[in-house]
Structure 1
């Protein structure tokens, strides 16, 4: 087998576009001392009469507090998301990101008093979705899926009880549960 490495392929347009958009938001946010991300890319309780409230309900996944926060989320997104986009296709991955952003945004507005920003809910959705991506309609549940749920979601439940920090464990849990539900739905459709 001969491998040619003379072209760069735009292999996962949704994940790569998400990466680029979130990087642009991060740069503008850094240039405005965070005001840009707070106004447009953070989700928090606000007036339902403001159109920005609805925009921020999904846009929060593109906003990040700093470069380290962005790097952690996007590095995982690039590794896992690209593989998932190749398996499920761009439309399904875009749909999964939007559903996860919307659900985590609504839960944050209803049950939290802090601002939410970052792609960690989407990353957790993709971690769980990847662990269930091989499921078939034969009724068997992959052990890897169960272990991922216990390890990732269990850790977030524990951290939510024990730690008082600025990390939204609720978003991680909701993102992971979104990945589980979407994984079952997408895999049933594909089988």
Structure 2
């Protein structure tokens, strides 16, 4: 306690003024380093959206930060596509938010250090779009989707591949992949079966997030697989460009 007091009492007069206390706080804050700007920015944005929703603008999350049910969505409107990305920032409750933040902070920083901020941001955007597309395809017509759980599951798989060596498959990665796919896949199938009741969880979001993370991690760590994927994407884009002309000839 004496050491702390002497540290705060810079002029040695036996008293700690507000200026001295503030100066000590600033010195301690300068020791904090931003080790994962992308992940921590995502967490901060999620908290900000939820705070504004709870305290100021009750319909904010509903209006701009969740995917609307398909029955109320219009592909002809810009917000239809904007929400495919912003939906990861909205959360239904503090419990929902804190659960996702815990996962993001547990595995996100290590993944960002391993793969780099720019790469991680691209994989996050890809995850948001993929999970949104499959929400429209698989979810009930009256269901909404929101939250960063898809990105959290993506980061879990991506993090498991940080030390992946080209040409090898780690047993721990396979175990984790089987665990997530079986758990979320079976839950998704149960909800899609006739008479199946939904538990309010976007299992397809969790499942696809994990699959995107696994695929991205392998492609980033396997040069040969990355080259093949790039060639496949180029062929696919070339086919899509010529598709309208082909359809006219039919």
* TM norm. shorter chain > 0.5: yes
How many correspondences in the alignment? 186
In 2, Cα distance between the equivalents of 1:131 and 1:34? Answer: 38
Instruction: Give distance in 2, aligned partners of 1:11 and 1:128.
Output: 20
Which has the larger Rg?
2
Which aligned runs of 4 or more in structure 1 are off by greater than 4 angstroms?
A: none
Aligned-partner Cα distance in 2 for 1:101–1:178: 10
Aligned to 2:218: 184
- Equivalent in the alignment of 2:207: 173
Please give the TM-score of this superposition, normalised by the length of structure 2: 0.70
Point out which structure has higher relative CO (alpha carbons under 8 A, 6+ apart): 1
The residue aligned with 2:173 is: 145
TM-score, with structure 1 as normaliser: 0.91
User: How far apart are the structure 1 equivalents of 2:102 and 2:90?
Assistant: 15
CA distance in 2, matches of 1:130, 1:20: 21
CA-to-aligned-CA distance 1:140-185 (integer Å, 9 cap, x gap): 1111111101112211122232763110101111101101110111
Equivalent of 2:76, from 49, 52, 69?
49
Task: Report if aligned partners of 1:34, 1:65 keep a CA contact under 8 Å in 2.
Answer: no
Give unpaired runs (5+ residues) of structure 2. Answer: 1-27, 192-196, 227-250
What corresponds to 2:148 in structure 1?
119
User: How far apart, in 2, do the equivalents of 1:31 and 1:39 lie?
Assistant: 16
Q: 1:154 to 1:57 in 2, by over 3 A?
A: same
Aligned-partner SS, 2:53: helix
Unpaired runs of 5+ in structure 1? none
C-alpha contact 1:30 1:66 (8 A) present in aligned 2: no
Q: What are the residue-to-residue correspondences of 1:99-118 with 2, within 5 Å?
A: 99-112=126-139, 113=141, 114-118=143-147
User: What does residue 31 of structure 1 align with?
Assistant: 55
